[in-house]
Chain A
Amino acid sequence: MRIKPTGIALLAMLLCAAGPSRAQEDLPVRNCTWCHGSSAQGFSTAPRIAGQQPHYLVQQLLAFKDHSRDNPTSAQYMWGATARLSPERASEFAAYFAALPAEPASDGNSALVEAGRVLYEQGAAQSEVAACVVCHGPNAQGFEAIPRLGGLSYGYLKSRLAQWSQGFHASAFPMPQVATSLSPEEVEALASYLSFLR
């Protein structure tokens, strides 16, 4: 049987395109997927990290490590997980998870999606709510160290906003201010809208 060169080329391309550049066996991702799910889509309080902005992932891993991200859930689960994490390793994890495909949680209140979208894109100047779109992007895809919000779970988004308005993670400018300006109804609408975004 003669193997055509094009066949080999195709096979090589497929192998290269298949997944992250680093072999899965080298990077101990099981330490993460215990809680974040085998395909990193998130589980319970652990958010989806698949498809997240890599700079953001690195920044948060280091924020867990230096305890600046100090809300109770983070303290309980992530401080220990990152206690011996080097910045290099954090970058490797971030690159790995950022490249994984992400599915939207779609677990918000679909009746509030339109109200959430308006808030996301326009803010609410009367109550001094900034438009999320200017930092997080038109499809909530994020930018550099600003996280992708699209498709994160409704419960997780709500809890993050609650934590900032309670004074946790005060260094995460401008989120403490943003979270404080939102009413509970606005939080519901935003979290619902974002949970459906692909």
Chain B
Amino acid sequence: MRLKIPVTVLCAVSLALAFTAAGAARQRVWRVAAESGFESKADYCKTCHGLSGEGYRGYYPMPRLAGQQPRYIENQLRAFIERRRVNPVMFNVAHALSPGMLAALTQYFHQLNPPPIGGAAGGNVGLGRTIYEEGLPEANIAACSACHGPEAKGYEEIPRLAGQLYPYTVKALSGWTRERGQGGAGKSDASAIMVPTTHNLNAAQISALAAYLSTLR
């Protein structure tokens, strides 16, 4: 008995077989937090935060983590988990981290040192440097360097700002309480100091600061 199999069916079948074989051979790793090692978690962070933690400009800016103060990252991750800092994506991400993993990741990113992404078009870097190093006393704006350090490297729970992405810094300075300090009274964190600090900055000054910081190594 001769079977008349249409060519189209033959093609479809052979394609299906090819893909199944390829699928078996293909290294598809479905990672589960309980079994995954440190490396895969770090890779996961880097999916959004950049191959060397330098940050990434997507529709939303993903901040630079490279060289960041470990205490600061830890505080932020805890703030995400406890929803004191409201960010749905980071809540999901941080939620799955064990304390040991959290500590390992913060140390890991701290020692990365890629050059800054840059690309802050049209920012007044000179004004930014002035504000950063000296402040604008007549406008009641403190010098950022007083806390963040002369090279914007931060200290303990005070974050490094050097090389931070321009749109991220603008977003943070423009609406400090939009994301942070949530969770009601008595649940504020160390960053509450930034509320009065950023209050007097206007848009041009924020842009200048963000541009300056984005250039720092």
> Is A183 an interface position by the 8 A CB rule?
yes
B contact residues, total (Cβ < 8 Å): 31
> Do B47 and A144 touch across chains, with their CB atoms under 8 A apart?
no
- List, in ascending order, chain A residues with CB within 8 A of B95's CB: 125
Complex: how many Å from CA A143 to CA B167? 13
Residue of B nearest to A123 (CB): B92
Q: Which of A57-73 contact B (CB under 8 A)?
A: none
**Contact A174 B46, CB 8 Å, known A137-B59, A166-B22:** yes
Q: Which of A102-145 contact B (CB under 8 A)?
A: 121-123, 125-128, 130-131, 133-138, 141-144
> Do A133 and B31 touch across chains, with their CB atoms under 8 A apart?
no
**Contact A127 B32, CB 8 Å, known A135-B58, A141-B59, A146-B58:** yes
> Do A130 and B59 touch across chains, with their CB atoms under 8 A apart?
no
Over the window 43-81 of chain B, the binary record of Cβ atoms lying under 8 Å from chain A Cβ atoms (1 yes, 0 no) is: 110111001000011111010000000000000000000
**Contact A122 B58, CB 8 Å, known A128-B41, A166-B26, A177-B47:** no
> Do B22 and A178 touch across chains, with their CB atoms under 8 A apart?
no
Cβ of B184 to closest chain A Cβ, rounded Å: 24
Q: Which of B10-47 contact A (CB under 8 A)?
A: 22-23, 26-33, 36, 40-41, 43-44, 46-47
Q: Which of B166-205 contact A (CB under 8 A)?
A: none
> Is A180 an interface position by the 8 A CB rule?
yes
A130: contacting residue among B22, B27, B32, B48, CB under 8 A: B48
> Is B1 an interface position by the 8 A CB rule?
no
- List, in ascending order, chain A residues with CB within 8 A of B22's CB: 166
- List, in ascending order, chain B residues with CB within 8 A of A174's CB: 46-48, 51, 56
B60: contacting residue among A128, A134, A173, A180, CB under 8 A: A134
> Is A33 an interface position by the 8 A CB rule?
no
> Do B48 and A134 touch across chains, with their CB atoms under 8 A apart?
yes
> Do A127 and B31 touch across chains, with their CB atoms under 8 A apart?
yes
**Contact A131 B92, CB 8 Å, known A126-B32, A183-B30:** yes
Complex: how many Å from CA A114 to CA B60? 23
> Is A165 an interface position by the 8 A CB rule?
yes
> Do A142 and B47 touch across chains, with their CB atoms under 8 A apart?
no
> Do B43 and A125 touch across chains, with their CB atoms under 8 A apart?
no
**Contact A135 B29, CB 8 Å, known A122-B89, A125-B95, A143-B58:** no
Cβ of A93 to closest chain B Cβ, rounded Å: 24
Residue of A nearest to B61 (CB): A134
Cβ of B93 to closest chain A Cβ, rounded Å: 5
Complex: how many Å from CA A144 to CA B119? 13
> Is A82 an interface position by the 8 A CB rule?
no
Can you list 7 contacts pairing A with B, beta carbon distance less than 8 Å? A128-B33, A133-B60, A134-B59, A136-B58, A137-B59, A174-B47, A180-B29
The 7 closest A-B pairs by CB, nearest first: A135-B58, A137-B59, A125-B96, A128-B44, A143-B59, A130-B47, A174-B47
